[in-house]
Amino acid sequence: MAVERQVSAAGLVHFPWILDIQINLTEPKLNFRVWVSFGLELDVFKKILDDTRPKRVAVWYFNTEAAVEEYAKKLIPYARQAFMAEILEEVIQSEATDYRATAARINAFAPDLIFLNGFIRKWLRSLEPYSPSA
């Protein structure tokens, strides 16, 4: 990261933002997690799955490294293995602006449970297709 090198060279105190699902302890840097939910929410999501035991799960997330690790590599395999749940996985590219087709696929899938991940502005835009005016 060019910015990190410049800040370090200037001798300024700084904290890199880590968006990985787990902190990489092999790096000799100070990692300060500003979005700690990535380290905690997987256990909460597994508890929701355990409590509800859904058979059809829609997982809608933005294509970020942390989200792919959490949902595609951990949560979805857990749901499939633990409950033999049928999964509809919708991976959204960050430049996407129209979510109507995704919303229609999720609606047609008729899930028992939906996991929705993203940034607040993108998330709110993703719900617009469900509004009565859409």
Number of domains in the chain: 2
pLDDT reported for residue 31: 43
Report pLDDT for 111: 92
- Residue 71 forms part of a structural domain: yes
> Does residue 13 sit in the same domain as residue 57?
no
Query: Closest Cα partner for 76 from 100, 52, 46?
Result: 46
Does residue 17 sit within a domain? yes
Question: In terms of domains, do 30 and 62 share one?
Answer: no
Domain extent for 11: 1-34
pTM of the model: 0.65
pLDDT at 62 (0 to 100): 84
Cα 107–112–115 angle (5° rounding)? 80
Is residue 2 located within the same domain as residue 26? yes
Tell whether 81 and 103 lie within a shared domain: yes
pLDDT average per 10 residues of sequence, the chain (134 residues):
61 52 51 52 86 91 86 93 91 80 90 80 64 60
